[in-house]
Amino acid sequence: MSRLPSTTAQLRVFRQSFQPCRLEGEVTAGGFHWTFCWAFDRGELTIEPSLGRALIQDALMRFLLRADYQLEAGGDYAFTVRASF
């Protein structure tokens, strides 16, 4: 049986603000590098640049929703993306 493809993504939180309910940081995976802004009161996730955004968007949103209250500014985190970049 073959293993499912996976890539480990590294996430760093730069800022966390409860007014205006935002979390900002960067995520890297498979040679790609993105910055993100998550407006957690509205559930809106913005990722820049657009190159490769589709590869990370769903996995990053799932991670943010799952780890929401555990994330802190200055923290480094990792999660698995079920794809090979």
Each residue of 1-45: pLDDT tens digit? 568 889 999 999 999 998 889 999 999 999 999 999 999 999 999
Tokens of 13: 């939180």
Q: Count CA atoms within 13 Å of residue 78 on its CB side.
A: 6
pLDDT score of 1:
56
* Residue 81 domain-assigned (yes or no): no
Domain that holds residue 63: 7-76
pLDDT score of 2:
65
- CA 37 – CA 48 distance, rounded (Å): 9
* Residue 17 domain-assigned (yes or no): yes
Ordered DSSP codes for 31-83: TEEEEEEEETTTTEEEEESSTTHHHHHHHHHHHHHHHGGG--TT-EEEEEESS
* Residue 23 domain-assigned (yes or no): yes
* Residue 18 domain-assigned (yes or no): yes
For the chain, the domain total comes to 1
* Residue 36 domain-assigned (yes or no): yes
State the pTM of this model.
0.89
* Residue 82 domain-assigned (yes or no): no
Q: Which residues contact 16 (CB under 8 A, 6 or more apart)?
A: 22, 23, 24, 71, 72, 73
pLDDT score of 65:
94
